Amino acid sequence: MNLQLDLSFYSWDLVRNFVLKGLTFSVLLTLVATIGGILFGTLLALMRLSGRKWLDLPAAVYVNGMRSIPLVMVILWFFLLVPFLIGRPIGAEISAVITFIAFEAAYFSEIMRAGIQSIPRGQVFAGQALGMSYGQNMRLVVLPQALRNMLPVLLTQTIILFQDTSLVYAIGAYDMLKGFEVAGKNYGRPIEAYLAAAVVYFIICYALSYAVKRLHRRIAIIR
């Protein structure tokens, strides 16, 4: 199989007919998993910081368990076991969304926990002195500051999440990598298609990483 790098292969027809659909799904999966992961991860972080063992223990088991298992195995488990448990198929795309939210929540939880713990205790005590409840203190005092501190790390984790979306290839979901693969098969150029996918992933992730670095510098100046 010969490698040919002529530009005629990288045409707009390839992008429009095969890649855009996969890229759209990859981006949507990244956004939904990020939002869902942050919400679920914040809940897990608050459970671990609650000081109540009956909340801390299950959250710790969940977080440490998820972080100890390769993502591709979790994807396969959800794809194969969830339809068996509920008695009907749910589709590769829906399975991927559920898996990524459940998996990424464990990582976002640790980021959120570290961010919350970075806020000086004096501010928490000040909120309590004003008569705020635990929930009000978290919502109005701690979390807004913690989110600003954590923003660069959260965005970096989101970039990693976008890269990891290529793993849904294992269950046949039509992500960007799958789009390039289908294009390569249709054009008879599979090697070039995979190389093109690698280049696109690199360009997107490098540009996002550069933007996060600029944002981190701006936040550092504000502080």
Looking at residue 2, its pLDDT comes to 61
Looking at residue 10, its pLDDT comes to 61
**Distance between CA atoms of 164 and 100, rounded to whole angstroms?**
9
Looking at residue 211, its pLDDT comes to 93
The distance from CA 95 to its chain's CA centroid, rounded to whole angstroms, is 15
Q: What is the 3-state secondary structure (H, E, C) of the chain?
A: CCCCCCHHHCCHHHHHHHHHHHHHHHHHHHHHHHHHHHHHHHHHHHHHCCCCHHHHHHHHHHHHHHHCCCHHHHHHHHHHHHHHHHCCCCCHHHHHHHHHHHHHHHHHHHHHHHHHHCCCHHHHHHHHHCCCCHHHHHHHHHHHHHHHHHHHHHHHHHHHHHHHHHHHHHHCCCCHHHHHHHHHHHHCCHHHHHHHHHHHHHHHHHHHHHHHHHHHHHHHHHC
One digit per residue, pLDDT tens: the chain, 223 residues? 565 655 455 666 677 778 899 999 999 999 999 999 999 999 999 999 888 899 999 999 999 999 999 999 999 998 988 888 787 888 899 999 999 999 999 999 999 998 888 888 787 787 778 878 777 888 888 888 888 888 889 999 999 999 999 999 889 899 999 998 888 887 777 788 888 889 899 999 999 999 999 888 887 655 5
How many CA atoms does the CB half-sphere of 209 hold within 13 Å? 11
The distance from CA 203 to its chain's CA centroid, rounded to whole angstroms, is 18
Using alpha carbons, list the distances in angstroms from residue 213 to 33, 48, 155, 217.
22, 30, 10, 6
CATH fourth-level superfamily of 7-222: MetI-like (1.10.3720.10)
Looking at residue 74, its pLDDT comes to 93
Q: How many CB atoms within 10 Å of residue 175?
A: 26
Give this prediction's pTM: 0.88
